[in-house]
Structure 1
Amino acid sequence: MTSPTFLPSPTVSAVHLGPLTIHFYALCIIAGIGVAIWLGSRRWITRGGRPGQLADICLWAIPAGIIGGRLYHVITDPELYFLPGRNPWNAFAIWDGGLGIWGAIALGCLGAWIGCRRAGVSFVAFLDAIAPGVLFAQALGRWGNWFNNELYGDASTLPWKLQIHQMDTAAGTAVTNASGHAIVLGYFQPTFLYESLWCLLVGLALLALDRRCQLGAGSIFALYAAGYTAGRFVFELMRSDYANLILGLRVNTWVAGLICLAAATAFMLLRTRPRSTAYPPTTITTAPPKTQQPLTGTGV
């Protein structure tokens, strides 16, 4: 029995339960969020936070992150939704894919900052606590692209090349030919898998470094940003799906490169600071009491 010479892709991306359609892309994102909150909560407690506190902050961060991720995608690829013949309402169909990580992180951080302010805890400590879990969430989320048969690279003949089907996103199934077989578009580089494995490796590296080294406040999150974007820069160069270009490079390639440089610089500046804690120590200065002057003169 010969081994397969390609990685198969699913021919089903959703299940229908009466009027309810459950998309596997959404399930992957939900699973990733669950892992990030679970791991982040454990790390938050080691930084002096209270149980349940990080999850409460995430109630602000997660919706903001989803909105930001979708906004980034729609803004950077408006022709997918607003050109003649396109359906603008599909801009809201996040279950079909299309969440920009940069927008998700930006608005997600804004939501987290609001949550931290309301809880009276350190925003930087939250970022350091949640960073490895976010990488694992991204690793799981990329498998949603596998179910959707999307985010692949150039055509490939490698043994691990990815089989891609023509998908009907509305039905959540592959389009079939006259014989009832799923239509195969070709075999391509599995860039979704490369990114998923990279996120897993960087997340494990962050956990090991944070356990062995007393890295300064904010440096774990800076390493997350630098590590993830270093890999993303390479994967963007490999991808063959549609994207807008600037000077011959995909928009996300430019964004990944710039963020990587900025985050690496931030890490070098932050790594020697004191470790982040949920409740940073505050220095309270109290003015010395005034010396009571003796009373003079005569009273009335």
Structure 2
Amino acid sequence: MRRPEPVEGSKPGEPGWVPSLVALDIDGTLLIPDLERGMAAEVMTQPVLDAVLDTARAGARVVLASGRAPLSMAGIADRIGLTDLVRELTGEPLHIVASNGSVVVRHAPLEMVHEITFDASEAVRTVLEHVPGAAVAVEEHGVGYRVNRLFPPGELDGEMIICDIEEMIAGPVSRVIIRDPDSTSEDFVHLAKQLGLHGTNYFIGWTAWLDLAPEGVSKASGLEWVCAELDVEATDVLAIGDGRNDIEMLTWAGRGVAMGQGPQVVRDAADHVTGPVTEDGAATELRRWFG
């Protein structure tokens, strides 16, 4: 499949515009979530899978952008055939924006090419003063996570290494996860606003799941790094996502598209709203540009 030729002077989202790079969230965009457990199914529907691979075949750069760790995202790219297809088409590895933008990797083989770290100690201690029973995890790249206690089954990929909290936050980290199965996502939204969490960015998941990241870091900043390397302008980027951690990406991209089941604040931030993940909304948007 050949990539359609863009019409000179066309604006993002208008007829004649063609994305050069497509940034795709994973959970709730490509994979259908299990909202009760705060997890995603590990299988993509066939229409979504076909649309993603056809987008790459058409010549657009496909970049996965997620809050997941690099190891988890690389595994998904491998399973759906995207890793091998990108290598075959471009002769280059796939770019992945992981950990809500704190980490950028190329794959395969898995190679970290960009990482931003921060001192999370004060923010973590502040949150734990209000949610003392929460589980805390810090990424251990290529292995899994250091955790103060085990997370619910299936929520973290890789090995979980039990550590003392103070040991976990003693040095710079790229990301911290705080999870409280006894709270709700709205509880965490209110808590984060109440605490302020100065010096950090934070992202709330479907459930009581709080990601702490370096200030100013988001999927958008990670994608900016990728675009600079690939010589792509933000106006030539199509981004699709469903969560609060996608808002910066959707407002930064030339065309930001929210999934139909996303929270109202996410849909309000987007240029367009497609169908929900259960109705293959990502495929609907991709087929608009790549047949």
TM range (shorter): under 0.3
Larger fraction in strand: 2
TM-score normalized by the length of structure 2: 0.25
- Structure scoring higher RCO (CA < 8 A, sep ≥ 6) equals 1
TM-score normalized by the length of structure 1: 0.25
Decide which structure has the larger Cα Rg and report it: 1
